A and B are shown apart, each in its own frame.
Chain A
Amino acid sequence: MPAEIEPAVAERRITLLETLDRVLNKGVVITGDVTLSVADVDLIFVGLRLLLSSVETARDLRLSREACLSPHACPGTADRGDGRQA
């Protein structure tokens, strides 16, 4: 049986990886004066692979209706620290 991921850790990991997928790979593209280094590109690919595999293990969270409605357990809906509920 796969190791249980602690919900708080899993939630944080998923939120981070969802963030990573967006800020590195989506949004307005502007050709800046800084070019992405090879290491940055590697991180994008590694990050995206981690994202997909982490999401695939998200079923360990056993998201139920109750879990979805609880801001604590539902990934991405935790208070972001500025008092604003997502």
Chain B
Amino acid sequence: MQAYYIYGIVSFPPQLSREIWGHGGEPVCLLPRGDLAAVVSPSPLGPWPPDEARLSLHEAVVEQVMASRSILPVRFNTILRTEEAVIALLDQRAREFRSALERVAGKVEMGLRVLWEPPGEGEVHADQEIEGGGPGTEYLSRRLKEEWRRAKLLQAGERLIQELDAPLRSLAVESWLQRFPTNRLLIAGAYLVERPRVDAFREGVVKACEQFPRLRFLLTGPWPPYHFVNGAHDGTVDAFAA
């Protein structure tokens, strides 16, 4: 039975401007409903194994569409059984999709990760030592030191984050930031940038590279607006929101 693999949601019209090939060599096309359309290809019910080739293919389809219009990227392995199910989806979530498409119109996502060397152990003050006492006191003393160190870390990091984020925010329309995702990642973030401002944004990151030589920057993009399609954009996007 033929089902439909969905790569993304676009406004309709226009039709696709070029031939695009999807999973299993099937042609990608639009399934329209009113002023929206799903970007689909005929597919077995799947699921497709999430290996490098298939993940890259999925992304390539989304980016080929994105070359000429706005698209809301959909998660890998989203497969609906029938054409009717796809139409029903577009009906049910028309308002959400329309407003998301407006929000990302003419914009792309730039990804940024910043690595740092967290300040070292030596920052702990002598007066944090608790003299005497048994193993219980020793444990508490250790915990106190850890908490103190962690608080200092967050403080230093937070200041850095503000300094980094402020100029980049001014070059973007929106941002999504994850603070201290790991011990050595200061931030992992996504910025929604108007297409004509992408070069200026890149320059902004290069400037930050020069301003903060002890930090390491990883800039990727442009990406489809993966981080800006769900609900609120207050930096706490719920990845599982429907």
Contacts and interface: CB of A to CB of B under 8 A. Distances in A.
B55 A19 contact: yes
Contacts of B229: 26-28
B59 A59 contact: no
A26 B239 contact: yes
A5 interface: no
Contacts of B87: none
Nearest to A52: B182
B216 interface: yes
Contacts of A86: 221-222
A32 to B, nearest CB: 5
Contacts of B56: 16, 19
Which of A15, A69, A86 has most B Cβ within 10 Å?
A: A86
B227 interface: yes
A86 B219 CA distance: 11
Chain A interface size, as a band, is 35 or more
Contacts, number: 145
B79 A64 contact: no
Nearest to A55: B113
Contact of B73 (A18, A27, A40, A75): A27
Contacts of A25: 75, 239
A74 B60 CA distance: 19
A77 B163 CA distance: 25
Interface of A: 14-16, 18-20, 22-34, 36-37, 40, 43-44, 52, 55-56, 58-59, 63-65, 68-69, 74-77, 80, 82, 84, 86
20 contacts: A14-B220, A15-B220, A16-B52, A16-B55, A22-B73, A23-B58, A25-B239, A27-B72, A27-B224, A28-B74, A29-B240, A30-B242, A32-B80, A33-B81, A36-B47, A40-B47, A58-B218, A63-B216, A68-B217, A82-B64
Nearest 7 CB-CB pairings of A with B: A76-B220, A26-B226, A27-B73, A22-B226, A23-B76, A59-B216, A33-B81
